[in-house]
Amino acid sequence: MYVAVMGYGTVGSGVAALLRKNHELIRKKSRQESLELRYILDLRTFPGDENESLVTNDFNLILNDSEVRIVVETMGGLHPAFEFVSACLAAGKSVVTSNKELVAAKGMELLRIAAENNANFMFEASVGGGIPVLTPIIQCLAANEISEVAGILNGTTNYILTKMFDEGAGFESALAEAQRLGYAERDPSADVDGIDACRKICILADLCFGREVAPDSFYVEGIRNITETDVEYAKALGGVIKLVASAEKKNGGENVAVCVSPAFIRNGSQLANVSDVFNAVLVRGDAVGDTVFYGRGAGKMPTASAVMADVIDCAVSMGETKPYGWSEAPDGYVLPDDEFTSRFFVRAACGADKVKEVFGSVQQVSFEGAPQGETAFVTELTDKASLKKSLADLGEIRSVIRVTDY
């Protein structure tokens, strides 16, 4: 059996390297007499690379080669990845991808095309890099009613926030360090503005709850506005701030509340100690309780590990489509942001008396050297519409950060 890789960047070259390094065990586990890489699709050339001779810029070579049964898509982006992947599936080839943008936007359609052609579309590497999380959700937690899935899904922002907490760095200098180390792109917006985490929580919600959550259907906020002062308050509160992506069933499963935003997590939570570029995903099932999946959420070889596991699965299940996926959601399935309910940490430029007048008795937070002329506090459980109304009475608001219960 032959395999092709589309996109010879960090992940694609990791896939080729892993297939070469662990070739015999991968072949055996795939139950194939042979399993070889035949093409690498890329517009660039790679003089001197060990796979130089496999590189082509002609997609049709892959599409029209009937011996290529599994195609790995590691190009990233929506186009032409979507067109290439759908053409491969329509030709009966199985496709494995690490491309979360593609899965979040087009996963349902691509799973349908795969099923119509007795092929598989697999994407373990699209969430949590090397962490096994999607397959355990689909298989090991299959008997659970899942009520919530949440996590730290972006390594770059987690690295930045860890620097801010552990070393007192400001956002800009922590970002510069992340860029220097190659974690953050030159244009870091997909990571720091929460877009990457948004795509990943969509995929998790799709699989956990069986209905499609569109990436543009809920509130997404990144970490650009987190300041050193917020960090000090979080420490005083006994916790950390993480970029948390969450999806929670509401109204008996009729709705889902989805959000990506910075969030306060108390020390002692399993998510509080997830540092640097590591990711963690918490899944709350009615039988199993809380389970947390932890590991390297990005990187060449960890991500290649997840891709190759799917390749092996595709090889073993050749000719038989795996029975998972999700369906279109009815209008109004994702709750509007105004109905999102949480406790919130607030910094307001007013006195404690004013806060008490508007919110009643709330937990106040302070630390030595806290800014003068402001009151910081944690609200009771409230929905965002009520919160906004109350905050309008307090004057200038300096921070609003949700407080999780994980």
Name the site residues for ligand HSE (rule: CB under 6 A).
Answer: 129, 154-156, 191, 196, 297-298
Residues forming beta bridges with residue 283, ordered by sequence position: 149, 291
Give the helix ranges, DSSP H, for 264-332.
300-316
- The neighbouring-strand residues paired with 56 are 41
Residue 55 vs 306, nearer CB to ligand HSE: 306
CB of 387 to ligand HSE, least distance (A): 29
* Residue 280 to residue 293: CA distance in whole angstroms: 5
Nearer to ligand HSE, 262 or 297 (CB): 297
In the complex with ligand HSE, the residue whose CB is nearer, 151 or 325, is: 151
CB 223 within 8 Å of CB 243: yes
Residue 396 Cα to chain centre, angstroms: 33
Closest by CA position to 242, among listed 168, 157, 365, 179: 157
Query: How would you classify the pairing of strands 278-285 and 146-152?
Result: antiparallel
CB neighbour list of residue 214: distance below 8 Å, 6 or more residues apart:
202, 334
Shortest Cβ 13–ligand HSE spacing (Å): 15
Query: What minimum distance in Å lies between the beta carbon of 239 and ligand HSE?
Result: 22
Nearer to ligand HSE, 196 or 221 (CB): 196
Tell me if residue 200 is catalytic.
yes
Output the smallest distance, CB 157 to ligand HSE, in A: 7
Torsion angles phi and psi, residue 186, rounded to 5: -60, -45
CB of 190 to ligand HSE, least distance (A): 7
> Catalytic pick from 93, 200, 322, 384?
200
- 14 or 129: CB nearest ligand HSE: 129
CA separation for the pair 233, 289 (Å, rounded): 31
Instruction: Residue 38: name the closest of 78, 67, 82, 3 by CA.
Output: 3
Pick between residue 156 and residue 261 the one whose CB is nearest to ligand HSE.
156
Concatenating the DSSP letter of every residue in 51-65 gives TGGGEES-HHHHHT-
226, two tokens = 């987190």
Shortest separation between residue 234's beta carbon and ligand HSE, angstroms: 21
- The residues assigned a catalytic role are 200
